[in-house]
Amino acid sequence: MASSLLTIIEPVNKPVSADPGDGLGRLRDNHGRVISDLRVSVTDRCNYRCVYCRTGTDGAQYSELPIDDYLRIIRVFVSLGIDKIRLTGGEPLLRKGLVDLVGEVAALRPAFADDPAAKLDIALTTNGHLLEDLAAPLHDAGLNRITISMDAVDPDIFARITRVPGSYERVLRGVRASQAAGLGPIKINAVLLRGFNEDQIEAFAKFSREENVIVRFIEFMPLEEDRTWTPETVVPMDEIIGRLNAFRPLVALPPNHASETARRFTFDDGLGEIGIIAPVSNPFCGHCSRVRLTSDGKVRTCLFSQSDHDLVGLMRRGATDEDMSAWIRAVVMRKEARHHIGEPGFLKPSRSMVHIGG
Ligand code: SAM
């Protein structure tokens, strides 16, 4: 049976053994990149309708796997060298069983660490609407880090973008509950969208300094359900840096690690931290270390992939963990060299961010 499963996708340039720990070493792609970071979408439901992500209506079909299936898939990826797991969605806090899943993942050990006491790095991305009551249980279950998406620090602009009135104060309480629970340093992700929130840049700088959080500005990418993206809607990195420097002089900080996606800064008095993630104006594909699992069990090797790879289908047909490992190695070999946003012929993926898992 293994052989028929393994011919579904042929490896590009390496024979693939069906033996995990088969001497092939850590998961890597055909461009020499080590793949260490798995993003798992645990639901594609969301309680927000952000203007840059979703349509205003809720006609979509949702698709989730049982929690145990995510756990099995994560375990297989970890056996191949994945040592960083980010749980995301949709909105992951909507998913029943999330705290237990974090606990189960926290019990796994990285497969290729020299230190036998090494642990996985477990992170979560959330909109924070349901976070106040969940921050401490998630931390206690083993969550290491949290990223909270907030696209404004003005409650009216926040409501205009999320299309959910009254949520800003809840998210702020979620940020503070996360600090209190020991999940700091907390990252706040803000997607900047021309005409909606570029006037929030300076207010976010103040927020970083006052709340002791890392604010990361993200360029808007063409991954929305509606067709709203144009190059003009992107607020590019240079403009963000210019505005921040006018607010208060910026000082560059070194990257935290080799596959860091953010350009990091503090201000001249050392207070506050800003990251700028610029996949459109300054792509960082060359050191991308990520793969994604969609909520319906498909592997995506790039946010902008034109196709998914049906891992759960393989599982449902009775694949062993070894079959899954070999299949994953072959799929990851085909990871795209880079995205082509802004180039002639660029094709937007058919799935939006809420379905891919951000
Ligand atoms: N619901 C969670 C949240 O709000 O953080 C997790 C899923 S959400 C899809 C993950 C991240 O993707 C959020 O920070 C969101 O702002 C970002 N995002 C969604 N669509 C995007 C786009 N078209 N371009 C850039 N970032 C986007």
For ligand 1, whether the C-beta of 356 sits within 6 Å is no
Whether the per-residue pLDDT at 30 is higher than 70: the answer is yes
Strand 298-300, strand 290-293: pairing: antiparallel
For ligand 1, whether the C-beta of 125 sits within 6 Å is yes
Residue 269's pLDDT is: 98
Task: Kindly indicate the confidence band of residue 17, based on its pLDDT and cuts at 50, 70 and 90.
Answer: very low
Tell me which range, 45-54, 226-235, 337-346, is most confidently predicted by mean pLDDT: 45-54
Q: In terms of Cα–Cα distance, which of 229, 162, 236 is closest to 198?
A: 236
Residue 228's pLDDT is: 81
Residue 312's pLDDT is: 97
Residue 12's pLDDT is: 34
118-141 pLDDT, tens digit per residue, is 999 999 999 999 999 999 999 999
For ligand 1, whether the C-beta of 353 sits within 6 Å is yes
Whether the per-residue pLDDT at 43 is higher than 60: the answer is yes
Residue 21's pLDDT is: 57
pLDDT exceeding 70 applies to what percent of the chain? Answer: 92
Mean pLDDT, the chain, whole residue set:
90
Cα–ligand 1 centroid distance for 124 (angstroms): 12
Whether the per-residue pLDDT at 349 is higher than 90: the answer is no
Atom of ligand 1 nearest to the CA of 147: 5
Atom of ligand 1 nearest to the CA of 356: 9
Residue 15's pLDDT is: 33
269-287 pLDDT, tens digit per residue, is 999 999 999 988 888 788 8
Strand 214-219, strand 187-192: pairing: parallel
Whether the per-residue pLDDT at 16 is higher than 50: the answer is no
Whether the per-residue pLDDT at 93 is higher than 90: the answer is yes
Domain ranges in the chain? 2-356
Residue 11's pLDDT is: 34
151-171 pLDDT, tens digit per residue, is 999 999 999 999 999 999 999
Tell me which range, 169-178, 225-234, 281-290, is most confidently predicted by mean pLDDT: 169-178
CATH classification of 2-356, choosing from 1.10.275.10, 3.20.20.70, 3.30.750.24, 3.40.190.10? 3.20.20.70
Atom 2 (ligand 1): residue with closest C-alpha? 126
Task: Kindly indicate the confidence band of residue 337, based on its pLDDT and cuts at 50, 70 and 90.
Answer: confident
For ligand 1, whether the C-beta of 221 sits within 6 Å is yes
Residue 58's pLDDT is: 63
Task: Kindly indicate the confidence band of residue 265, based on its pLDDT and cuts at 50, 70 and 90.
Answer: very high
Cα–ligand 1 centroid distance for 75 (angstroms): 25
